């Protein structure tokens, strides 16, 4: 029940975010004097509406977004009534049109910043001093209850599974392993690699406990695991000692801040998130085969893109497991991604309209300098084939991610 409520709550937050995006366009357009005739939450048949001044506000039956109608967005639009010609959007200075078209993304960025600031003061933000790859951390261990012999990432310990060899040999949580049979171990990644390169059976483990060096004789178990670096590879017999990774004593994964310090932490985290978002967007094309694989019976890569369906499911999981930091992080990441994505210089995205406005401005300046007549406004009709192509590509990608999120969803809790 908690998971269903979490899914609904996250979906509602997405709807609110999109509606505020459109409200950003509307507010800035009205501020400059442009004529706004409609503002609706949802699509399809109208459920309820009212008119205030020259604008109709309302709610439609399909809660999958929203829209705002600004008169005369392009010179080819025929929705300008007699007497309103001067209020057509395309007649306004390019900087004002840029403000209006970018206001939606600005709202998403603002929502992400406010949520990050609130998270910094309550649940905390991720400790940026920790490496991105957990395998690079020092080899502090947490003793497992058992070792699962067969390769099954989703399976937990069951009666009859062999006990952890490390636990049986007397190792404890927070011990730091430094060597295996004399082979130095610096990181947890070293520990995994070295353990798998020695045959099953007794080995001498050097470790530190409370800063004091110790040794133990551990009888490594034989287990089935895929090759390192190839999770989809065929399992083979390797050694395991029945330990997991734990952070060095006193290390926190999340750090909380006061109101003032949270501002700086928010800026730092936002810069980090911006870099990661741009990097993820660049890698979209190479992730398409992995998405298709997940639809045809393959394992779903957790690094593949997700749709709003997948994000809502993960939000529901987070609520069900009281992982509110994950819930908020999903909300922050989604708003940041939508804000950046919407600024791409492609029609029909807002960034495409902004790019055309500045192209027209630059072209007019250049033509004036060389003494040629201003060619006027860009003919959007000539750009329709390109626009339809972008819609088709993005639509197909959206359907692919939605299908993957339904058939083979990403899950953070097994």
| Annotated catalytic residue, options 22, 56, 208, 317 | 22
* 165 closest CA partner among 111, 116, 204: 204
For 135, 141, 339, the CA distances from 209, given in Å and listed in that order, are 20, 11, 48
- Is 279 marked active-site? no
Q: For residue 237, what are the contacts with CB-CB under 8 A and spacing of at least 6?
A: 200, 222, 223, 224
Cα 84 to Cα 325: distance, rounded to the nearest angstrom: 49
**CB of 108 within 8 A of CB of 13?**
no
DSSP state of 163: B
The half-sphere exposure of 89 on its side-chain side, counting CA atoms within 13 A, is: 28
Task: Could you list the beta-strand ranges (E) of 83-241.
Answer: 125-126, 141-143, 176-180, 183-184, 201-209, 212-225, 236-240
Proportion of the chain in helix, strand, coil states, percent, rounded to 5:
50, 20, 30
Q: For residue 245, what are the contacts with CB-CB under 8 A and spacing of at least 6?
A: 134, 135, 137, 140, 141, 142, 188
Q: For residue 154, what are the contacts with CB-CB under 8 A and spacing of at least 6?
A: 414
> What torsion do the CA atoms of 296, 299, 303, 305 make, to the nearest 10 degrees?
30
Active site residues: 22
């Amino acid at each position: 029940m908690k998971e269903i409520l979490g899914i609904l709550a996250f979906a509602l937050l997405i709807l609110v975010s999109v509606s505020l995006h459109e409200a950003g366009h509307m507010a800035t357009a009205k501020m400059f004097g442009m004529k706004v005739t409609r503002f609706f939450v949802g699509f399809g048949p109208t459920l309820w509406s009212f008119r205030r001044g020259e604008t109709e506000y309302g709610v439609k039956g399909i809660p999958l977004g929203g829209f705002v109608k600004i008169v005369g967005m392009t010179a080819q639009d025929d929705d300008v009534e007699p007497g309103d010609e001067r209020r057509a959007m395309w007649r306004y200075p390019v900087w004002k049109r840029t403000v209006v078209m970018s206001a939606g993304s600005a709202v998403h960025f603002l929502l992400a910043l406010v949520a990050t600031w609130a998270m910094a003061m309550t649940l905390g933000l991720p400790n940026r001093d920790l490496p991105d790859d957990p395998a690079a951390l020092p080899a502090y261990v947490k003793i497992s209850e058992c070792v699962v012999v067969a390769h099954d990432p989703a399976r937990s310990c069951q009666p009859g599974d062999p006990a952890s060899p490390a636990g049986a040999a007397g190792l404890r949580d927070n011990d730091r392993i430094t060597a295996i049979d004399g082979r130095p171990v610096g990181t947890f990644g070293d520990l995994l690699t070295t353990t798998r390169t020695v045959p099953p059976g007794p080995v001498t483990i050097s470790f530190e406990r409370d800063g004091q060096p110790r040794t133990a004789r551990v009888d490594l178990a034989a287990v089935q695991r895929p090759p390192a670096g190839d999770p989809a590879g065929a399992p083979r017999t390797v050694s395991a000692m029945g330990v997991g990774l734990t952070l060095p004593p006193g290390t926190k994964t999340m750090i909380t801040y006061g109101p003032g310090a949270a501002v700086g932490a928010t800026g730092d985290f936002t810069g980090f998130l911006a870099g990661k978002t741009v990097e993820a967007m660049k890698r979209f094309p190479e992730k398409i085969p992995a998405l298709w694989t997940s639809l045809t019976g393959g394992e779903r890569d957790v690094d593949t893109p997700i749709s709003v369906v997948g994000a809502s499911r993960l939000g529901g999981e987070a609520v069900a497991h009281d992982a509110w930091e994950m819930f908020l992080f999903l909300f922050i990441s989604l708003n940041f991604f939508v804000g950046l994505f919407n600024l791409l210089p492609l029609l029909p995205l807002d960034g495409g309209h902004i790019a055309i406005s500045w192209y027209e401005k630059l072209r007019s300046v250049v033509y004036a300098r060389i003494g040629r007549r201003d060619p006027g406004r860009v003919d959007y009709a000539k750009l329709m084939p390109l626009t339809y192509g972008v819609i088709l590509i993005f639509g197909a990608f959206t359907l692919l991610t939605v299908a993957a999120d339904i058939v083979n969803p990403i899950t953070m809790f097994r």
